[in-house]
Structure 1
Amino acid sequence: MLSWEFPPKRVGGISAALEGLAPAVSLTGLTVHVITAGDAGGAACEYVSPTLTINRVLVADPYNDFFDWIQKLNEAMYEPAAQILRSARAAQEAVVLHVHDWLTMFIGLRLKNEFGVRLVTTIHATEYGRNQGIQSDVQHKIHAWECELIAASDALIVCSESMRTEITSHHGAHWNRIRVIPNGINPADIAVTFTEDERSEFRNRFASPNQHLVFFIGRMVGEKGAHLLVEAIGRLHPSLPVKLVIAGGGAREHLENRARGLGIWDSVYFTGRISDEDRAGLYAVADVAVYPSLYEPFGIVALEAMAAGVPVVVSDSGGFAEVVEHDVSGTTTYAGDVNSLAWGIDRVLRDRSRAMRLAEHAKSVVSTKFSWPLIANNTVEVYRNEDV
């Protein structure tokens, strides 16, 4: 598996997906090697188990920009990857390369061509989707790389039907070469057990006892919709006291300024990046988790909230519509519509019996439909099936 991010490096959804997928695939009887960037720490060669090894490489300074860094990362990945392939060839073992997005396509294509191995690619998101089109030179460059990778891959995996439609419509992918396999979650990763006193103490760090705690976690980029959430909180009736907790990295000055402009500064808490422990704790004490994305290939944050038993309000964008079923496992609102979003939040906070009933059903959906063993078995089927 070739990825530019893997824990402890966490930037987007790829890291979270591979954190679950790699060990799950290694439990199917396959030996898994993850090769990734080591700039965020972690052992250079981490032997997780007899069938799972993480290789982390460093990029040599200097580099000019992000694209130069990516090229050098791919170059640094070559030797450990080639060594694994040489050993496998000597042992007459079959090897599959699994590339995750365009960021490791260069090493993936090089190894495919040099060693003649099968290349499976997971497209987690696209430049077209993030920007609702291709306008700038940088976007054209990334889009062209994505198209090249898709064309050269022997099989493609996407995490939702909406992503399958996206890459067939805008990247020239053939429908029958694409397998839809959702991301998963291990509920134990976000489980936390509080005594009543511990729960109150933790919750009081973020909200007062009389406030409903509305939780959002994600990157501070436009596609995730945090700006819409701030607007929606400003439209809730004053009789519904809330504290919006926004967690995640990225530039947030525009969000802070808007909260001040709406007169709700005291009702919003920007935490910045948080630890895994605080993330689990916030799911445990939140009254609702809200994700109003404008573009969402899958939406693993919704799975996290569902697994934790928190009522969810999501937009109907992309993969969210496939993860959350409206009025069955959560509340779905219209993407980009602040009034719809405010309605969804208000509805969940005022009708708690209904909200908790949906949340309880959502937990059962996660355990049956989004379990890592199921997802790993489906992924291995793609590895082995050359007709996919």
Structure 2
Amino acid sequence: MTKKKIYIFNNNSRAAIYGIGTYIAQLIDCLKKEEIEFGLIYIHAAGEEVTVTEKEGYQLISIPSTNSCNSRGREYYTRNIAYLLKEFIPVEKGVEYIFHLNFMNNPTLVSNLRKMFKCKVILVAHYSNWSFTLLGDNLKLQQILKKRPKKRNYSEQNIVKDIKEDTKMITKCDKFVCIARHSMESFTSICRIDAKKIVLINNALKDCYIPVNEEQKRILRHKYYIQEGVPLLIFAGRLDEVKGIAYLIQAFRKVLETYKNARLLIAGDGNFNRWLKEAKDIWSQITFTGRLEKDVLYELYHIADMGIVSSLHEEFGFVAIEMMMNQLPIIVSDTGGLSEIVENDISGLKIPVMNDGKQQVIDAEALSAKMIQLIKQPGYAEILAENARKRFLKKYDLMIFREKMLNLYREV
């Protein structure tokens, strides 16, 4: 069997801290348990010089960014990545190199890697600029694509340009991995990708769940100054508009009309001032924690009455499966990957995402009704929580992901 070396690309971005960062951390955890040589290539890294270090048994190559932000500068930087890697990755006879890319919209990088290495290239679609811009509104996308080029506005022209760049990049790769079925269907129909090239591999998490009893929950509530009997709701994620935080706060405001002592924890970093304005008059019941370490976040999951993922669009939904792993009843918006993760009224509750004629919106009344339902019916909430954990173990445990990724590396 041909020896293989895998090099995983990461990037200095907010996505690398959250979803993509989580994905790469889980992938590294899988590969460390196998007799597979791998390395991590960190582009647009901090610093002024290229560094090569050994970290926990694998090679870490960090390539700093350049000051140039125009298209020519970006092309120059992309070309130099491949030339630099040629210097730091020794080419060995009988070794097949696999470059695992985690960012779209850069076909030039694939071309340059192929020039410098005899290699295979795997591309994972964690998100696309066009899907993110339209918040997953496929109807609006179809309307844009049907327009004559001259009739498209500047934003629409950029969306079409991104689609063309993504299509070009996917075509140059050997395998294209989608993390959710809706993504696979979108790319297949819009970019007209060869079905043989596409692989569906859902994201996953290593099972870190540690059950706690009622006494331990009481101690944790005391630790975080949450009184017993107080309904506790939790959101975790970036404080971006796409996460539906405005609708979450509006819905929670309605919950307070029935449960005046309810608390909402919003865990994540971003523009706090914007959401503090949204929370006017109910500040005392909402806590913005900033980004939390996993051990603290999981303790809060243990004492929360429900988790809420109110995104207007999610390519997958790591936070949802993280909450399900921790046996927390969840409410998610019925969009993108979240639609696939949760079975409504079985392993969680769903709220619709609608278009009001201008943009994607969430019905805050419907969301608040689901929140109140879970507070009023703790027995029902417990059933949802148990089913959520069962679904996590069946579909999103890291062992499932590990086998699929190893098969992909073997077969590419």
Please tell me whether residue 223 in structure 1 is matched to residue 229 in structure 2: no
Taking only the aligned residue pairs, the percentage that are identical comes to: 20
- d(CA) in 2 for partners of 1:44 and 1:283? 38
What is the 5 A alignment of 1:139-178?
139=159, 142-178=162-198
- d(CA) in 2 for partners of 1:126 and 1:118? 22
**Could you say which residue in structure 1 is the equivalent of 2:264?**
244
Letter in 2 for 1:230: I
**Could you say which residue in structure 1 is the equivalent of 2:393?**
367
Letter in 1 for 2:273: E
Contact 1:121 1:157 in 2 (8 A): yes
Letter in 1 for 2:224: R
Q: Relative to structure 1, is the Cα distance of residues 244 and 103 closer, same or farther in structure 2, using a 3 angstrom cutoff?
A: farther
**Could you say which residue in structure 1 is the equivalent of 2:224?**
203
- d(CA) in 1 for partners of 2:77 and 2:18? 17
Q: Relative to structure 1, is the Cα distance of residues 120 and 60 closer, same or farther in structure 2, using a 3 angstrom cutoff?
A: closer
What is the 5 A alignment of 1:50-129?
53-59=58-64, 63-65=67-69, 74=78, 77-78=81-82, 81-83=85-87, 86-87=90-91, 90-102=92-104, 106-129=108-131
Contact 1:313 1:333 in 2 (8 A): yes
**Which shows bigger deviation, 16-25 or 308-317?**
16-25
SS of alignment partner, residue 257 of structure 2: coil
| Cα distance per residue 1:117-138 (max 9 Å; x no partner) | 1111100111121111585266
Uncovered stretches (5+) of structure 1, i.e. residues with no partner = none
**Could you say which residue in structure 2 is the equivalent of 1:46?**
54
Please tell me whether residue 179 in structure 1 is matched to residue 179 in structure 2: no
Uncovered stretches (5+) of structure 2, i.e. residues with no partner = 1-6, 135-140, 145-153, 354-361
Contact 1:203 1:285 in 2 (8 A): no
- d(CA) in 1 for partners of 2:11 and 2:267? 20
SS of alignment partner, residue 94 of structure 1: strand
Contact 2:217 2:303 in 1 (8 A): no
TM-score normalized with structure 2 length: 0.80
Q: Relative to structure 1, is the Cα distance of residues 123 and 75 closer, same or farther in structure 2, using a 3 angstrom cutoff?
A: same
More strand by share: 2
Root-mean-square deviation (CA, aligned residues, Å) is 3.0
Deviation at 1:359, TM superposition (A): 0.9
Contact 2:182 2:336 in 1 (8 A): yes
Q: Relative to structure 1, is the Cα distance of residues 325 and 234 closer, same or farther in structure 2, using a 3 angstrom cutoff?
A: same
Q: Relative to structure 1, is the Cα distance of residues 254 and 178 closer, same or farther in structure 2, using a 3 angstrom cutoff?
A: same
Letter in 2 for 1:182: N
Deviation at 1:75, TM superposition (A): 5.8
Letter in 2 for 1:46: E
- d(CA) in 1 for partners of 2:165 and 2:62? 23
SS of alignment partner, residue 102 of structure 1: coil
Q: Relative to structure 1, is the Cα distance of residues 6 and 82 closer, same or farther in structure 2, using a 3 angstrom cutoff?
A: same
TM-score normalized with structure 1 length: 0.85
Letter in 1 for 2:189: S
Deviation at 1:71, TM superposition (A): 6.1
Deviation at 1:286, TM superposition (A): 1.4
**Could you say which residue in structure 1 is the equivalent of 2:4?**
none
| Cα distance per residue 1:115-168 (max 9 Å; x no partner) | 231111100111121111585266555444322211211111011111112212
Letter in 2 for 1:47: K
> Number of paired residues?
373
Please tell me whether residue 354 in structure 1 is matched to residue 380 in structure 2: yes
Q: Relative to structure 1, is the Cα distance of residues 208 and 171 closer, same or farther in structure 2, using a 3 angstrom cutoff?
A: farther
- The structure that has the greater radius of gyration is 2
